[in-house]
Structure 1
Amino acid sequence: MAWLPMANQWRILRKISKEQVFSVPRLEASQGLRQEKLQKLRDYIHECSVNHQLVDVGEAAFITALNLMSATLFSVDCAQFDSDSTQELKETIRAMTKVVASFNLVDFFPIFKSVDPQRVMHKSKTYFGQIYSILEGKINERLKLRAASSDYVEKNDFLEALLNYSQSNPSEFPKDRIKHLLLDLFVGGTDTTAATVEWVMTDLIRCPKVMLKARNELWDVVGRNNKIKESDISRLPYLQSVIKETFRFHPTGPLLIPHKAEVDTEINGYIIPKDSQIFVNIWAIGRDSSIWPNPESFDPERFLRREIDIRGQDFDLIPFGSGKRICPGFPLATRMVPLMVATMIHNFDWKPEKGMKPEEVDISEKFGVALQKAVPLKAFPVKV
């Protein structure tokens, strides 16, 4: 969906995604599902704190996001904490997003397409094939269940909705396109969420005073022993400011998705020719000193002093894009990221690996479709 032009097929996929996954009624109905995944995350962190065990924060966030998406799409969990198969799936998804974002000589010299000198196409087919195999297995399994019994009880998940829609509109949305849309949501909703949470936790561990202030806000608003609900998010302005500051400092999609000029367009005296591919460098915008005072410092309070919306209206901060092509998963991401971060810090303090000071926690970046940490974040949770 991200790569399609704004034609009929793109509109159909956006419509289905909006109505069947990201609409307010759907999200409200699936709150219990998210609470279940957050409880598993909370239990895992608690177990690690009791055993004085180091937590790979990015992997914990990845598993939580992956299980949320797989349960939303297929009504099953796809991953377990401390599982080798989970690590393999994570590496496959990360490798897939990396190869999609990699420089390919063939894009500039199509004559080399049959040779594939950098083996980009070969790698793409391998990684995409592995994910498609998982998705096709889920689709075929569901089709067999639907065909096996006349009194089959439909599941309340996205796959069921897609199969019903395809059955009612076969020419508009044939079954062979289901796996492609599932891929967009399965990968896009997992890797970017996990990467964002890992960056937020990195910034908080590097700034213990900020973490303490965010935790105190949670205790004041939610209480020390109460579970965090989605309705609490709007009452946590400091936590929201922390997440906005991370979006500015480490945007998950540093160049957004590619855009294309539909007509010749003039911007600030520059002519953008028709069909030009356009990248929006929001990473650079977030570090522009003419927009942001002290852009290299992590300062969540800048968003308490300045009201700014991340829904695509304030172009100084557009982590999800803007306009008609804004990320369709925005409504879910703005629920999941605050909830996951709040779950991690509500009853736990976090200490870096032994012998390391907070300010020494690595913040080097690794470029891809999603901006990853070059060095995974590992830290000790301490019950408070």
Structure 2
Amino acid sequence: MRAFVSRLYGLSGESVVLMEHLTRLTLSNISRMVLGNKYFGVSGGDDRVVSDSIVSLQELQEMINEFFFLIGVFNIGDWIPGLYFLDLQGYVKRMKALKKKLDQFQDHVFDEHEQKKKESSKDFVARDMVDLLLQLADDPDLGVKLTYDALRGLTLDLISGGTDSTAVTVEWVISELIKHPQLITQATEELDRVVGRERWVEERDIPQLPYLEAIMKETMRKHPVAPLLAPHMAMEDCNVAGYDIRKGTRVFINTWSIGRDPSLWEQPEEFRPERFLGRNIDVKGRSFELLPFSAGRRMCPAYNLGLKMIQLSIANLLQAFNWKLPDNAK
């Protein structure tokens, strides 16, 4: 976080494409948790690769960006199978190239972790998610055998899921706040009152910053990262709000429309964090009018990490800088 703020400080007075820096922050953070400190560390106020890894942090970021682009494209061959082999848009070629790069990088990471595990022998302690997954893969009592393909998929899920969603939410927060300067004033007044200006805001301060939390919740209401939650399935015949839903029906939850439902929210198109002050509406799957992380057994497993990263990022950005649109734009 200090390296992130330091990089932005070096750009003070310039126009900044904030998403690039936010993605770098979240990617370096989640990469250290998933892959280990050996690959990505902080030195001299900046991120750097601290091993002979075959990709740099920037290259990994480019691969993740390409991954998100390709899973969202409209590929003609998927809808007209007879044209699939032609790869008219070149997306399949790009997917294959990306898979090759990701496989090379992940195999390099797995091999180094396996070697470290062998060298440690009985003293081995899992220090990151790859260590843990490799332990599970070697467990003969595990109900579902983890293959290398499964390990690749799980690590990619963790890195991509923990990178884009947090960065997008923080970008939306700053976008809304810049359009409402009075909200920035209120948020910084709270920071000055709780934290002061003699030290940086820390994770332990977050519970004492209710207005900051309200800003985050209002952003998640108006700009959910997943407008449609991961598909669910009806496990039995049921009736919901007068509608008969048959067993096996695939169910999509539209959080975007819920967040703009005037029967739930007064003036839903307005950005008003105050609507969450004094109201017991959480984002942990218990308040169905606000479900940014889904609910139940298919809820995002890393919601707690996401909340901490989002709130700490917002707090640092507001504490460190005065934000406005470039060229005095309105």
TM range, smaller chain: 0.7 to 0.9
- Give the 3-state SS of the residue equivalent to 2:261 in structure 1: coil
242-251 or 300-309, which deviates more: 300-309
Change (3 A) 1:70 1:225: same
Shift of 1:125: 4.1
In structure 2, C-alpha distance between the alignment counterparts of 1:260 and 1:133, rounded to whole Å: 36
Q: In the alignment, what sits opposite 1:72? A: 33
- Structure 1 letter corresponding to 2:33: T
Q: Which residue of 2 aligns with 1:329?
A: 302
Counterpart residue number, 2:146: 174
Which of the numbers 281, 289, 296 marks the counterpart of 2:262?
289
Deviations 1:95-151, CA, capped at 9 Å, x for gaps: 323433445667667677666676665554444443343222211122233335669
In structure 2, C-alpha distance between the alignment counterparts of 1:344 and 1:154, rounded to whole Å: 36
Q: 5 Å matches for 1:106-185?
A: 123-147=94-118, 154=125, 156-169=127-140, 172-176=144-148, 177-185=150-158
| Cα distance change, pair 123–269 in 1 and its aligned pair in 2 (3 A) | farther
Identity %: 35
- 2:135 and 2:89 map into 1 onto residues whose CA distance is 41
Whole-angstrom CA distance in 2 between matches of 1:287 and 1:234: 27
Deviation at 1:321, TM superposition (A): 0.2
By how many angstroms is 1:55 displaced? 2.3
Cα separation, 2, equivalents of 1:122 and 1:78: 33
Q: Which amino acid aligns with 2:318?
A: I
Compute the displacement of 1:353 (Å). 1.6
Deviation by residue 1:55-74 (Cα, 9 ceiling, x = unmatched)? 22111111110011111112
Paired residue type of 1:64: L
Deviation sequence 1:312-337 (CA, Å, 0-9, x none): 11111000001111100101001110
Does 2:226 align with 1:253? yes
| Contiguous gaps of at least 5 residues in structure 1 | 1-37, 358-384
Q: What is the aligned counterpart of 1:48 among 1, 7, 11?
A: 11
Q: Is contact 1:70–1:78 with CA below 8 Å preserved after alignment?
A: no
Q: Which consecutive unaligned segments of at least 5 residues does structure 2 have?
A: 50-54
- Deviation string 1:177-218 (CA, Å, 9 cap, x unpaired) is 222211111100001111111111111111111011111111
1 CA distance for matches of 2:257 and 2:216?
18
Q: 1:262 Cα shift?
A: 3.0
Q: So what's the TM-score if we normalise by structure 1?
A: 0.74
Using the TM superposition, name which of 333-342 and 217-226 deviates more: 217-226
Using the alignment, how far apart are the partners of 2:257 and 2:89 within structure 1?
A: 29
TM superposition shift of 1:153: 6.0
SS of 1:301's equivalent in the other structure is helix
CA 1:107/1:281 → structure 2, altered by over 3 Å: closer, same or farther? Answer: farther
**RCO greater where, 1 or 2, for CA within 8 Å and sep 6 or more?**
1
Q: Could you tell me which residue of structure 1 aligns to residue 203 of structure 2?
A: 230
Q: Please tell me the residue identity of whatever aligns with 2:161.
A: G
Distance (whole Å) between structure 1 residues aligned to residue 156 and residue 236 of structure 2: 31
Paired position in structure 1 for 2:275: 302
Deviates more, 1:263-272 or 1:223-232: 263-272
1:239 aligns with 2:200: no
TM-fit CA distance, 1:91: 4.2
Q: Give the total of aligned pairs.
A: 318
Does the 8 A contact of 1:96 with 1:128 survive in 2?
no
Instruction: Identify if the C-alpha distance between structure 1 residues 58 and 82 changes in structure 2 by more than 3 Å, giving closer, same or farther.
Output: farther
Q: CA deviation at 1:257?
A: 1.3
User: Which has the larger displacement, 84-93 or 248-257?
Assistant: 84-93
CA contact (8 A) 2:283 2:290 kept: yes
Q: 1:149 to 1:329 in 2, by over 3 A?
A: closer
For the pair 1:311 / 2:289, whether they are aligned, the reply is no
Q: Does 1:265 align with 2:226?
A: no
Give distance in 2, aligned partners of 1:301 and 1:82: 40
CA 1:269 to 1:124, structure 2 compared with 1: closer, same or farther past 3 Å?
farther
The TM-score with structure 2 as length reference comes to 0.85
Whole-angstrom distance in 1 between the partners of 2:90 and 2:8: 40
Task: Provide the residue aligned with 1:92 in structure 2.
Answer: 63
Question: 1:339 is matched by which residue type in structure 2?
Answer: L
1:81–1:199 Cα change, 3 Å = farther
The 2-side partners of 1:235 and 1:169 are apart by 46
Indicate conservation of the 8 Å contact 1:45/1:344, yes or no.
Answer: no
Question: What is the rounded CA distance, in whole Å, between the counterparts of 2:70 and 2:120 in structure 1?
Answer: 42
C-alpha contact (below 8 Å) 1:265/1:274 kept by paired residues = yes
Find the residue that maps to 1:266 and give its secondary structure: strand
* Separation in 2, partners of 1:142, 1:189: 21
What secondary structure does 1:354 align onto? Answer: helix
RMSD: 2.9
Q: Which residue does 1:60 correspond to in 2? A: 21
Residues 259, 121 of structure 1: alpha-carbon distance in 2 compared, 3 angstrom cutoff:
farther
- Aligned amino acid, residue 41 of structure 1: F
Work out whether residues 35 and 109 of structure 2, in 8 Å CA contact, stay in contact via their aligned partners in 1.
Answer: yes
Q: Distance in 2 between matches of 1:275 and 1:221?
A: 51
